[in-house]
Amino acid sequence: MKEKVLDFFKSLVIPIKMARYKYMSVLIAVLIFVAASVVTVVPVNYNYEHSNYSWIESNNVLALQYLTKAPISDNEVDENNVVIGKKGNLNEVLEDFYDLKLLVKKNEDSNTWDLVKENGEFDQDERHVFKMQYKKDDVETIHINLYVDLFNKTTDHELAEKDKLKIVPYRDFAEREDMPAKYPEFRAESYSWKDDSGNVKLENYISIVLNTDAIHYVIDFKALNENGDVIDIADQFQSKRFWNNDYLYSYKDYEGYNSQQFFDYIARIVVLGYARNAATASSFWSFVYTFIYPLVIVFLIWILFRKQGQLKKFKEYYNIAAITSLIPIIVVFIVSWFWPNILSYYVIGFAVYYLFIIAKINNYQEVV
């Protein structure tokens, strides 16, 4: 029994012993590749779900540090004693927003999760805008536009003409160049200017849109490069996530919070939605990397070697590829818990290893 087990494990790594799997059912090979696409995405998605907040600190994903590092109080100063908050410009504005008492709850009629007022109706139509800003440093001012867009999902997803002066949705800024000029009070595009001394000043914008059905986050900002030139960093970069039973928002979660704590709360919601969108994308790419690309590689190698090696049929090449993939998949699965990006390199590792195995098998005088 012990020898059989040992022989089995040898057959997974020793080329001549792998050759026995050329007779294996191709259905088993397909199932191995499908299982690989499922297994490899598990640690990646776990990392996305549980480590997404660290992305803000390490990579400033979506420029969310503009929110997490917002002033704690209205008159906070930085290490150079420069005032980075303006009296009443954050906490006082947020107090008006808090009064709306917004939360996401289940709409039994539509079987969806919708943002409403605590005692409001699901079909209400109401819009608000809360404009805030703080001075990050001597050069950069951060403008935060917090929009609330409650709409009747069955009748109107767009603004009526009479509501244009209440709020201009972020999508109009992204699609229509004349919008900032037409509605300057709701500007959402970053810009630069010079003061009387010729010093460059940057005005950067964040738009947070709390919709009935989703949260939108839009960032538009510029920066100075090492030569002092103004460059675009993010141009209407957007992230969107629909509300659901485990992706919620409630004013009760931040009662008593100051401005920095509130914006940190918003940042956590935004980055979680971004991470879950990324997890969905990673599931797709996992299938591409572990199922589609290997299929293409097998086909190309079969075309190249079928007339000069011991293996002749496409099925034989595909079956050997399935067995060959096991070791790389195990390596990717383990490393992905610490470094999710390794999945991007799987195809290269698999291709090199598979080519080595095929070359060894085809060069043997006899194949089992």
Same domain, yes or no: 39 and 169: no
Residues 253 and 285 in one domain: no
Query: Do the domain assignments include residue 63?
Result: no
Do the beta carbons of residue 100 and residue 108 sit within 8 Å?
A: no
- Give tens-digit pLDDT for 171-189: 454 455 554 454 445 557 7
Given a cut of 90, whether residue 272 has pLDDT beyond it is yes
Residues of the domain holding 167 = 73-257
Q: Is 39 in the same domain as 82?
A: no
Whether 249 and 103 share a structural domain: yes
Q: Which residues, listed in sequence order, are joined to residue 116 by a DSSP beta bridge?
A: 103
Is residue 368 in some structural domain? no
pLDDT at 153: 62
- Establish if 28 belongs to a structural domain: yes
Least reliable range by pLDDT among 44-48, 235-239, 311-315, 328-332: 235-239
Reported pTM: 0.76
Q: Which one has a higher pLDDT value, 234 or 273?
A: 273
Per the structure, the count of domains in the chain is 2
pLDDT tens per residue, range 189-211 = 788 888 888 889 998 989 888 98
Q: Positive or negative, the Cα torsion across 256, 259, 260, 262? A: positive
- Render pLDDT for 152-169 as a digit per residue (tens, 0 to 9): 666 554 545 444 434 444
Contact 283, 48 (CB under 8 A): no
